[in-house]
Amino acid sequence: MNNLSGKKVVIIGGTAGIGLAAAKAAAELGAQVWAAGRTEAHIEKAKSESGGKFEVRQADTHDAEALAAIFSEAGTIDHLVSAAVGGERTLKPFLQQTQEQFQAAYDKLWGYCNVVRVGAPYLADDGAITLVSGSPARKIKPGQSPLSCVGASVENLVRCLAVEMAPIRVNVVSPGTIDTAMFDHFGDEKTEKLNGMTATHLIKRAGTPEEVAQGIIFVMNNGFVTGTTVDVDGGRILS
C-alpha cells in the first residue's frame, strides 16, 4: 500500500547516491519531499534530476541552524531520513590510525544525533525516522574498524530511540556494497573492482542506490516496523 501520498518527507544527505534515490522514489509515490546536502555539485545535480518533483536545499548534518530552517519550511514532518556520510573514514588497520583519524569517523554518528535532536520537534505524532548504517557494522574486514564501529553505534542508537520515542517509529537500513560515487575514484576499473569486492557475496554484484532506496521506502510505509535493521546487502553479511 502506498502510504506516502501527501506525506512530508525530509531527507538529509538526499542530494546524492542512496539519499537522492530515496528522494526520487518518495516523490514518485506522491510525497512532498525536501532533499538536503552539503556539497554544491551534488545540490546542482539533484536539482537537475528532480524534475521539479521535490525541493533541494543545502544543509550539513552538523549545522543545526540550517537543519532547523528546512524543518521549519516543511512544517510537520511525517518521515525524517538521514543518509549523510557526515564524517571522514580512514580505512586502514586500527593500530595504524591516529586517535584523531578514528574519532573523525564518528562525525557520522554525531551528525545523525544532531538531525534527530533538531528534527524531533517537527515530527508528526505518528511520524518516523530512518537512518542508514552499513553492512560492516556486522560483517567486518581488516581495515574497516571505523566503518564497523560507527555503523554498529548507529544501529544501536536506532534501537534506543525506538524505545524512547515510541510511538514515533525509528529504523535503520544497512546497505552492502553499492555502486555509488564513492567508488568513482577507481575510474575505468570501477566495474572490475566492484565485481571483485562482491565475488563472494550471495548475490555476486554491487547493489544500486535504487535498491537501497526501496528498503527505506519499506520502513517508511510499514507502520508496524520499528527498532529494526533492514539489510539490503546482497547477502554480504552471510557470505
- Residue 154: inside a domain, yes or no? yes
> Quick one: cell of 92?
586502514
Does 87 fall in a domain? yes
pLDDT (tens digit per residue) in 96-130: 999 999 999 999 999 999 999 999 999 999 999 99
Order of strands, edge to edge, in the sheet holding 8-12? Answer: 55-58, 32-37, 8-12, 77-82, 123-132, 169-175, 229-232
Q: Three cell numbers at 191?
A: 566495474
Q: Which of 17-31, 43-57, 79-93 has the least mean pLDDT?
A: 79-93
Provide the grid cell at 203: 548475490
Q: Is 101 helix (H, G, I), strand (E, B) or coil?
A: helix
pLDDT value at 1 more than 70: no
Question: Could you tell me if residue 83 is inside a domain?
Answer: yes
Q: How far apart are CA 77 and CA 63, in angstroms?
A: 19
DSSP state of 88: -
Structural domains of the chain, count: 1
d(CA 134, CA 232): 9
> Which residue blocks in the chain are alpha helix, DSSP H?
17-28, 40-50, 64-74, 99-104, 107-119, 145-165, 190-197, 209-221
Q: Provide the angle, in degrees to the nearest 10, between the axes of the packed helices 40-50 and 17-28.
A: 20
How confident is the model at residue 40, as a pLDDT?
Answer: 95
Q: pLDDT value at position 103?
A: 95
Q: Are 98 and 33 in contact (CB under 8 A)?
A: no
Radius of gyration, CA atoms only, the chain: 17
What does the alpha-carbon distance between residue 236 and residue 13 come to, in Å, rounded to a whole number? 24
Mean pLDDT throughout 34-62? 96
pLDDT tens track for 127-143? 999 999 999 999 999 99
pLDDT score, position 80: 98
C-alpha 99/C-alpha 115 separation (Å) is 25
Domain membership of residue 2 (yes or no) is: no
Residue 3 belongs to some domain of the structure: no
Residue range 150-196, pLDDT digits in tens: 999 999 999 999 999 999 999 999 999 999 877 887 888 888 999 99
Structural domain includes residue 59: yes
Q: For residue 203, what pLDDT is reported?
A: 97
pTM of the full structure: 0.94
Asked if 35 and 19 touch (Cβ cutoff 8 Å), the reply is yes
Q: Is residue 209 part of a domain?
A: yes
Write the pLDDT tens digit of every residue in 187-233.
888 889 999 999 999 999 999 999 999 999 999 999 999 999 999 99
Cβ–Cβ < 8 Å for 123, 166: no
- Domain of 147, in residue numbers: 8-238
Report the CATH number that the domain containing residue 14 is assigned in CATH.
Answer: 3.40.50.720
Q: For residue range 59-91, what is the model confidence (pLDDT) as tens digits?
A: 999 999 999 999 999 999 999 999 998 778 898
